[in-house]
Structure 1
């Protein structure tokens, strides 16, 4: 009986591979512990030469917070998407090098769709925000280091930990996808408009392997009902 209880606890801690279509992770409070660790479906032994990461988020935070954190054994911010509140910039980090995008309508209590692309052959990074492509900028040319740890809800200050509650994400996050190539403009627009698009080959929201630590909930991302639902 004791063995069975332990086995059930292990199963409950490892969410495994799930289809999260129509669902969202809810991060309901500021902590230095609550997070979701994502397991990519494939990782190159020599590191990734290109990356696209897309996600949608909803928050009312008025401070710094992490939107996507990938750390390697040698660089904490190997691939990070971070909202730097003080300067009102969304900042992609590649190999700890920062490129800031300001002047965006990052309004509270609204869904925002973001895609970040980077290609080591050119060294160019680009942010797409709510369907709008922003400037391509040079940031870094060398491939991403292998052995990544990918975290939602926290910003890693070492490989898989050292979280700071003041940089934690509080809100909702959904539709997280990651590709090991630069997604075409057409595919990104399809993602932004919630049309049929090619799902991520590294992270796919419809077949996601992950593990939750702390108070993170999974709920429907739909936040309103239509007239037909009201009348039924």
Structure 2
């Protein structure tokens, strides 16, 4: 038994790590052409269909490479890139551009699917489907592949020197079939796990200064656009008056009681007849920032 265990350990290079990455991110902190994460996929036959989903968070406005797949004899068999106004899906010599106008400084969930039978490529961003494109109809992707996060691959296992990713990537999954809309929703809610790449059992190798960190958790975030789910503004320490003055410690009536007949204890919600959060926590168990900086 000891010999078997030792032989198994020798199969996996010491530089590789395999772990459950739930609640973690890869942080790409620098604009460095050598930084990337190599993934070891579970592929046993050529791919004629696939789906790739991931979350990413960036602030650079230029083009950034998110995910790439290369096979022997070809470079960039498939890669997915993001910029401030478009997303690019490249497959061999075909490229498809999607005008998405995705804002920086927000976590985004993106999924790309491809079906060789029709060549149809679909892009979903935050659960929204964009107009379809066609690439590599009737083709297939060899089982021997090199998969990378944060870079393109000019040839098999040779990384590009242009547009490295800067930011954070999380919840990467890949399947050998096209996800249905229902499965896409599950992936958006982090309830679906890939059978080629599984974030919850990820075999990877880090090259460069990339870090594995816990996801940022923010109970709230003070911004110029923080809203409660009922559509009313939350001033985060400023006056909340809905048209009436609230002095927080001084008499405030202007001829009327602030609470329309109810006690105002200057320590509880002042809602002018309604609770600001409708009786629930502001974030309802989710992040108030709607994807801005927190997962």
- Report TM bin, short chain: 0.7 to 0.9
**Runs of 4+ off more than 2 Å:** 225-228
More helix by share: 1
Pair 125,31 (structure 1): closer, same or farther in 2 beyond 3 Å: same
CA distance in 2, matches of 1:119, 1:27: 31
1:180 to 167, 173, 176: 176
Give the secondary-structure state (helix, strand or coil) at the position aligned to 1:191.
helix
Q: Deviations over 1:61-84 (max 9, x none)?
A: 111110111111222121110125
Contact conserved, 2:81 with 2:89, CA < 8 A, in 1? yes
Larger Rg: 2
Q: 1:190 and 2:192 equivalent? A: no
Aligned residue pairs: how many?
A: 210
Q: Which has the higher strand share?
A: 1
Q: TM-score, normalized by length of structure 2?
A: 0.67
Could you list the runs of 5+ residues in structure 1 that have no partner in the other structure? 1-6
C-alpha distance after superposition, 1:168-215 (max 9, x if no partner): 000000000000000111010121133x23x10000000011111111
For structure 2, the residue ranges without an aligned partner over 5 or more in a row are 1-9, 221-280, 284-295
- Which of 131, 136, 141 does residue 132 from structure 2 map onto? 136
For 1:58 and 1:43, how far apart are their aligned partners in 2?
32
TM-score (norm 1): 0.85
Alignment of 1:12-161 (within 5 A): 13-15=15-17, 17-44=18-45, 47-84=46-83, 88-102=85-99, 104-141=100-137, 142-161=139-158
Return the offset for 1:52: 0.2
Q: Does 1:222 align with 2:200?
A: no
Higher relative contact order (CA 8 A, sep 6+): 1
